[in-house]
Amino acid sequence: MKILVCISHVPDTTSKINFKENDTKFDNNGVQFVINPYDEFALTRAMWFKEKQGATITAVTVGNTSTEPTLRKALAIGADDAIRVNTEAIDGLQVAKELAEVVKNGSYNLVLAGKESIDYNGGMVPGMLAALVDYNFVNACIGLEIEGEKATISREIDGGKEILSANLPLVIAGQKGLVEEKDLRIPNMRGIMMARKKPLSILEPISTKTATTTASFEKPATKSACKIVSTENIGELVDLLHNEAKVI
Amino acid sequence: MSVLILAETLEGKFKKSTFEATSYGKKVAELLGTTTVVLAINATNPSELYTYGAEKVLNVSNENLKTFNAKVYANIIQQAVEKENAQIVIIDASANGLYVAPMVAVNINAGYASNVVAIPSSTTPFVVKRKAFSSKGFNNTEINTDVKVIGLSKNSFGIIENEVAGTTEDFSPSVIETTIVSEKIEQTTGTVTIADADIVVSGGRGLKGPENWGMVEELAQILGAATACSKPVSDLGWRPHSEHVGQTGKPVASNLYIAIGISGAIQHLAGINSSKVKVVINTDAEAPFFKAADYGIVGDAFEVVPKLIEKLKEFKTNNI
């Protein structure tokens, strides 16, 4: 089984989000970048298939040179090789088209990704990629088993879950449940040393056309201070929720 | 030209998110000087959508479409887009909506903006405001393609009545074959789901143990709310994973979110930021949640929650 794991290079969850150049650009200053947490679930599941079923893993990202440390981290965790498509990721469809090219050329039969990136929260690249290469696709995947060519997949639905079956090739957009958080791996020294020697190839993009662009960014309106209700007067909270907030 | 809205049904009944998507679609159609078409698959009462501005309902009745299949649905939406010459497609943020929307975008060669929270701020160029950075920011996205897909964030526009004289037209799209099969659906019945809930009551480690969840459930029941929990609580196995809300759990975009014994770690807040009104009950006045909340009570949940239940019962009796 040849697995492609799609990695997004994103600001760490605890980052302060700021914008620059008149709110037209994301401000990288002081921001720590990490593997997108949802992609980490995907990579960890891929490692299971590598160790138990002899799969090979290629990690891929679409981005400029600044994303390489994140790809190296994926290699340190255990991916066999990595690909960077050398263009800035601006729009979901643009990224999906670049990934589709990688999938076609590498004839991967399983593509694992996170269901969304925690920066733009687009939630679109895996589904678009699947449609572009005409692979079956499951979104919000919380369980994946593969026997030979046959996959059994669980996905989260509103108020429950659905079990699906499909043959490879397949694109999976994963989330927690695909693996648990305790299964996530921190790269060890040996992994980090080995990652330096693993191949990281750089591909030029097929196009730089985008379907969407960001015209500007905004920060949420500053919130007014929390109103504190005394424990002696809890009826006041009910009153505020009814008359002021109008939510009950 | 038209604005096409995908309706979502559960056992034939429209979901609330469909009323919101239709209300939103009507507004977008007005801005563009065009009309609305709703695509409804196996809906019992299509005319219900006229109230929210559906000028035409394409009504599909087909036993083979009883179970949602993203590939099949994406193809049917494509057929509807072509038939109605739709310029904009609006899809809600339900599990099925999020699943199908990117596939639709590729099928019709459209730019797609998800998490959209407002009507377009401009139609030429076409710009919509969307949530990003786990609700720590927004980006105004310009969609450059001729046909556009909009994923509407839940509870962002609201349900707005706008009665029109609508018509319902039977639509019989072709149904493509697929090799991905739904084997089983396990629905948790009888309780309000986090995705659909207007109110969510959530408990954290401050509640000390799973045996203390009775009062959380009672509070939720009085409010018609869904129950949820913080990450440590689901990690400890006090509550099922399906209740975990936060960065890596379920996102919450309810009208009211009540956090009991949750300190408000940044990962938790990232998942619940989109809720309109947030209430925190915590013994520690320094807990970060108080910075994010609209209303707070500094106190012991074991004293505060029973009193709150009592007050809400009184309120319900007086307000029926």
Closest partner CB to B247 (pick from A118, A167, A224): A118
What is the reported pLDDT for A181?
85
B-chain CB neighbours of A19 within 8 Å are 137
Q: Which of B280, B70, B261, B174 is nearest to A225 (CA)?
A: B280
**Is A137 within the bounds of a domain?**
yes
Helix (H, G, I), strand (E, B) or coil at A71: helix
The pLDDT assigned to B197 comes to 87
Domains of chain B: 2-170 (3.40.50.620), 199-318 (3.40.50.1220)
Does any domain span residue A245? no
Residue A156 lies in a domain: yes
Is B228 in the A-facing interface, judged by CB distances under 8 Å?
A: no
Regions in chain A scoring below 50 on pLDDT: none
Q: Provide, as residue numbers in chain A, all residues whose Cβ is less than 8 Å from the Cβ of B110.
A: 211
A69 occurs within a structural domain? yes
Question: By the 8 A CB rule, do B134 and B270 touch?
Answer: yes
CB contact under 8 A, A155 and B95: yes
CA distance A34 to chain B (A): 14
Residue showing tokens 């499909």: A166
Contact B180 A164 (CB under 8 A): yes
Residues of A in contact with B257 (CB under 8 A): none
Tell me whether residues A165 and B223 touch, CB distance under 8 A: no
Interface size between A and B, measured as CB pairs under 8 A: 260
Q: What pLDDT is stored for residue A28 in this prediction?
A: 93
Task: Kindly state whether residue A227 falls inside one of the protein's structural domains.
Answer: no
**pLDDT for the residue A159:** 83
Residue A143: its chain B contacts at CB < 8 A? Answer: none
Q: Do B140 and A218 touch (CB under 8 A)?
A: yes
Identify whether A178 is part of a domain: yes
What is residue B320's predicted lDDT score, i.e. its pLDDT? 63
DSSP secondary structure code for residue B248 in this structure: S
Cα of B240 to nearest chain A Cα, Å? 12
Chain B residues whose beta carbon lies within 8 Å of the beta carbon of residue A242 = 315, 319
pLDDT of residue B190: 56
Query: Known binder of ligand: residue B268?
Result: yes
Cβ–Cβ gap A121/B134 under 8 Å: yes
- Please give the residue of chain B at the shortest CA–CA distance from A209: B144
ipTM surpasses cut 0.90: yes
- Kindly report the nearest CA distance between residue B243 and chain A, in angstroms: 10
The reply to whether residue A123 touches residue B102, judged by beta carbons under 8 angstroms, is yes
Give me the domain span that covers residue A133.
2-215
Residue pair B80/B86 in contact by the 8 Å Cβ criterion: yes
B168 touches chain A (CB under 8 A): no
The length of chain B in residues reads 320
State which residues of chain B have pLDDT below 50: none
* Interface list for B 8-37 with A (CB within 8 A): none
Verify whether the Cβ–Cβ distance A223 to B294 is below 8 Å.
yes
Query: How far apart are the C-alpha atoms of A165 and A162, rounded to whole Å?
Result: 10
pLDDT for B172 equals: 98
Residue B269 contacts A where some CB pair is shorter than 8 Å = no
Q: Specify the amino acid at residue A152.
A: T
Residue A111 counted as domain residue: yes
CA atoms of A10 and A25, how far apart (whole Å): 15
Find chain B residues with C-beta within 8 A of A33's C-beta.
none
- Our CA-based measurement puts residue A6 at a distance from the nearest CA of chain B, in whole angstroms, of 16
Q: Which residues of A touch B277 (CB under 8 A)?
A: 241, 245, 247
Please report, for residues B37, B195, B202, B234, the alpha-carbon distance to residue B215 in angstroms, rounded to integers and kept in the order given: 45, 22, 11, 18
Tell me the CATH number at A168: 3.40.50.620
Neighbours of A108 (CB within 10 A): 25
Flag whether B246 is marked binding: no
Domain total in chain A: 1
Report whether B266 belongs to an annotated binding site: yes
Q: Is B176 in the A-facing interface, judged by CB distances under 8 Å?
A: no
What does the pLDDT look like over A170-200, one tens digit per residue?
Answer: 999 999 999 988 899 999 999 999 999 999 9
**Is B306 in CB contact (< 8 Å) with chain A?**
no
Residues 6+ apart with CB under 8 A from B146: B87, B110
